């Protein structure tokens, strides 16, 4: 009887495939749908839950850098994104990451309705109502039409539905100049922490009505070849230009450069650093903030002041965006296996930070601050 059932199942599958019929779809994972139980632990929503982002969070937790007891992380994504979230499901299962859940969004979203109530509005309301904080991670470029520009030849738009979902989420959470009468969801939870990293930092700005400079080296420094960029020096590099000249040498794509902290910014007021400190950060981007969106103050810049490196929200005190990568799992790896130039001896990201204090402490402090705000988030 069991054998007959198996054979019938295989036969049905074969008929479906032969006729081009779709097999029954797996139900979408919708972790945020049920009412939140009480009592509950701490919930962190992260957008774009790729294997890389999940691995970074797992490393931060295992190293005790993001030390939040009872943490559940909910990865939110749109079903029309180009990322392979099936690989994320497999990674979660293979590594027994029971603390990581998924929530798929299928509601319609498009560029004309990003900055108004739309079919995804209930999703954003659920995030604020049922979670304790949000992270927007890095990635490819935002479609420039969203911030009112034509598309530069150097812009690389790869996953517009990801941008649509995240930019609309930011507008709903924080409000923006696109509609001054809009009501920010965080008005009901002003202590709700939000962290934007790299693309996420740029999305915070665009989602609140700001713009981007589509290429730093051509748009800010007016350099149009790699050799002239190299001559600027590493404090003006925001990724590694040597990688373009020596593609076979397996050089690191990132660059480390130092920051100029603002004397009255979050890093100095809340995290204990001084304006005279110049921590080094891991950087990989080619775009930069242009006009600031609604509600932002600058917390840090590049050493020459030409590139904004961090912003903080003036209305909601626990909202921070950073252009660099404090989440990268290799910041905590001591194995020497990276070179910036062909003649360099291998080193580790960790050694670079440890050798330029207070760089290591600075990158850790961002996660300590965020973890504390998660645990203190009112409304849990």
Tell me how far apart the alpha carbons of residues 293 and 291 are, in angstroms, rounded to a whole number.
7
DSSP 8-class letter at 115:
T
Sequential pLDDT tens for the chain (380 residues): 444 444 444 444 444 434 444 444 567 899 999 999 888 899 999 999 999 999 999 999 999 999 999 999 999 999 999 999 999 999 999 999 999 999 999 999 999 999 999 999 999 999 999 999 999 999 999 999 999 999 999 999 999 999 999 999 999 999 999 998 999 999 999 999 999 999 999 999 999 999 999 999 999 999 999 999 999 999 999 999 999 999 999 999 999 999 999 988 999 999 999 999 999 999 999 999 999 999 999 999 999 999 999 999 999 999 999 999 999 999 999 999 999 999 999 999 999 999 999 999 999 999 999 999 999 986 65
Tell me how far apart the alpha carbons of residues 242 and 253 are, in angstroms, rounded to a whole number.
9
pLDDT value of residue 39: 82
Bridge partners for 197 per DSSP: 322
Tokens 């840090």, located at residue = 300
How buried is residue 271: exposed, middle or buried, by Cβ count under 10 Å (0-12/13-18/19+)? middle
Packed helices 51-62 and 85-94: angle between N→C axes, nearest 10 degrees: 30
pLDDT value of residue 26: 62
Tokens at 122, concatenated: 């209930």
Q: Where exactly are the structural domains of the chain? A: 22-214+261-270+287-329+366-376
Three-state secondary structure call for residue 104: strand
pLDDT value of residue 25: 53
pTM metric for this prediction: 0.92
pLDDT value of residue 170: 98
CATH 3.40.50.880 fits 22-214+261-270+287-329+366-376, yes or no: yes
> CA nearest 172: which of 138, 110, 212, 123?
123
């Amino acid at each position: 009887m069991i054998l007959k059932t198996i054979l019938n199942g295989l036969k049905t599958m074969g008929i479906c495939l032969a006729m081009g019929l779709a097999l029954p779809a797996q139900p979408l994972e919708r972790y945020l749908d049920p009412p939140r139980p009480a009592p509950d632990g701490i919930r962190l929503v992260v957008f774009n839950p790729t294997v890389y982002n999940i691995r970074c969070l797992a490393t931060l937790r295992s190293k005790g850098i993001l030390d939040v007891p009872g943490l559940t992380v909910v990865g939110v994504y749109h079903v029309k994104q180009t990322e392979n979230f099936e690989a994320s499901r497999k990674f979660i299962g293979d590594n027994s990451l029971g603390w990581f859940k998924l929530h798929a969004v299928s509601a319609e979203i498009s560029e004309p309705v990003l900055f108004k109530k739309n079919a995804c509005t209930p999703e954003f309301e659920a995030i604020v109502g049922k979670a304790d904080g949000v992270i927007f991670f890095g990635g490819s470029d935002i479609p420039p039409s969203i911030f009112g520009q034509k598309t530069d030849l150097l812009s690389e738009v790869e996953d517009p539905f990801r941008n649509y979902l995240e930019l609309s989420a930011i507008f709903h959470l924080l409000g923006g100049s696109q509609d001054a009468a809009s009501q920010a969801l965080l008005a009901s939870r002003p202590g709700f922490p939000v962290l934007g990293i790299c693309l996420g930092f740029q999305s915070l700005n665009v989602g609140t009505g700001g713009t981007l400079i589509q290429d730093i080296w051509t748009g800010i420094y007016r350099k149009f070849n790699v050799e002239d960029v190299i001559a600027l020096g590493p404090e003006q590099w925001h990724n590694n230009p040597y990688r373009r000249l020596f593609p076979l040498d397996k050089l690191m794509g990132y660059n480390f450069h130092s920051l100029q902290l603002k004397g009255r910014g979050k890093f100095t007021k809340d995290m204990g650093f001084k304006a005279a400190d110049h921590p080094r950060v891991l950087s990989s981007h080619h775009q930069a903030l242009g006009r600031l969106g609604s509600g932002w103050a600058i917390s840090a810049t590049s050493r020459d002041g030409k590139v904004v490196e961090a912003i903080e929200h003036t209305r909601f005190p626990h909202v921070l965006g950073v252009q660099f990568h404090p989440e990268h799992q290799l910041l905590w790896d001591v194995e020497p296996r990276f070179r910036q130039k062909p003649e360099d001896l291998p080193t580790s990201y960790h050694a670079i930070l440890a050798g330029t204090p207070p760089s290591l402490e600075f990158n850790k402090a961002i996660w300590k601050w965020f973890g504390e705000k998660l645990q203190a988030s009112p409304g849990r």
